[in-house]
């Protein structure tokens, strides 16, 4: 609708989620690293069993890796998920935890031996039970082919680009460096994404939230406030931020919750459609101004003539028929100018 186009026109900050938005969203398992006497196959089997109760992209990747090795899932129950942090399940009477390092530490899991994997640039998932971390599963997700061009073109338009993710700092920073993004938040809980958006919209600085709220700061130079913010995300964890943002943007393959929350859905599933949506908004407002100026100029010029202002000096007056014809021509000019947008934007993102 028109309100969405107006919001696009006012944006000055774009916040991206990482997984499934800037990346393809189909991570794959690259390494299974036991930290105890457990075998790599057993590590992957247990992890896949715990993940069988969820449909997160990382869960799907682990399940696919187990299936590729023909590993049979074990009987499990008591599945629990903590959004953006990890999952747990009971297997053979043992409570298994699978998630990020911070969450497992909060559950009392000891992490001796895992520090050598902190700077790999990969997403790390830890399996822990009986008070000890048992192993690490490393996953890698590739950037979307058009991610670099999208970020560059947004920055060229003068828009601030920020990356917010629940992944580890070094993983998020690696992606940000590849794309030329200088401001990132890592290890962010889903509810804190919305808080970051809210603080960008207000006269307060999200960079001061600190590690206690789940964010780690890479670049602390703060933009001007308040901001008109768009959030681009595709997952369940992004829904609160999509709702909080001035404009929520999602992709066609996003989760149902994200699709329902978003104001704009990119039906082509291409990030470059974000550029097209912005260009469409700018062109629409340019056409509106052109049409208003034309209509105003026409009425200022022709109405006095129709009223007889030239009759005393030049004996000129517009007949009702001629005045009606000129009015029709004015309307045709406005409509034709507006229809030129269809030629400029043959394919458009779905806007609702």
Catalytic positions, please?
A: 17
Backbone angles phi, psi at 118, to 5 degrees: -80, -20
Print burial letters for 294-328: b (CB count within 10 Å at least 16), e (below 16). Answer: eeeebeeebeebbeeeeeeeeeeebeeeeeeebee
Give 325's contacts (C-beta < 8 A, 6+ positions apart): none
**Cβ pair 49, 71 in contact under 8 A:** no
Burial category of 13 from C-beta neighbours within 10 Å (exposed 0-12, middle 13-18, buried 19 and up): buried
Rg over alpha carbons for the chain, rounded to the nearest Å, is 28
């Amino acid at each position: 609708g028109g309100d969405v186009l107006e919001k696009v026109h006012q944006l000055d900050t774009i916040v991206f989620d990482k997984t499934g938005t800037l990346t393809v969203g189909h991570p794959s398992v690259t390494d299974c690293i036991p930290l105890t006497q457990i075998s790599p196959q057993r590590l992957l089997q247990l992890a896949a069993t715990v993940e069988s109760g969820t449909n997160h992209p990382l869960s799907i990747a682990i399940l696919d890796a187990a299936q590729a090795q023909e590993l049979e899932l074990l009987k499990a129950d008591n599945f629990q998920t903590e959004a953006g942090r990890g999952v747990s399940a009971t297997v053979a009477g043992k409570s298994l935890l699978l998630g990020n390092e911070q969450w497992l530490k909060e559950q009392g899991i000891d992490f001796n031996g895992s520090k050598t994997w902190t700077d790999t640039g990969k997403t790390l998932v830890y399996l822990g039970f009986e008070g000890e971390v048992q192993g690490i599963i490393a996953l890698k997700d590739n950037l979307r082919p058009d991610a670099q061009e999208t970020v560059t073109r947004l920055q060229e338009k003068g828009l601030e680009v920020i990356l917010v993710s629940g992944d580890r700092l070094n993983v998020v920073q690696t992606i940000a460096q590849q794309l030329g993004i200088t401001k990132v938040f890592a290890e962010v809980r889903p509810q804190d994404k919305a808080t970051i958006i809210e603080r960008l919209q207000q006269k307060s600085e999200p960079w001061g939230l600190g590690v206690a709220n789940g964010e780690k700061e890479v670049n602390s130079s703060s933009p001007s406030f308040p901001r008109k913010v768009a959030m681009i995300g595709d997952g369940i964890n992004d829904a609160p931020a999509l709702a909080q943002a001035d404009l929520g943007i999602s992709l066609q393959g996003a989760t149902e919750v994200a699709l329902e929350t978003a104001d704009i859905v990119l039906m082509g599933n291409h990030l470059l459609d974000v550029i097209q949506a912005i260009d469409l908004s700018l062109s629409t407002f340019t056409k509106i101004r052109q049409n208003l100026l034309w209509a105003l100029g026409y009425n200022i010029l022709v109405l006095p003539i129709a009223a007889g202002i030239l009759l005393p000096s030049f004996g000129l007056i517009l007949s009702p028929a001629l005045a009606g014809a000129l009015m029709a021509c004015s309307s045709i000019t406005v409509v034709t100018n507006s229809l030129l947008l269809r030629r400029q934007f043959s394919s458009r993102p779905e806007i609702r």
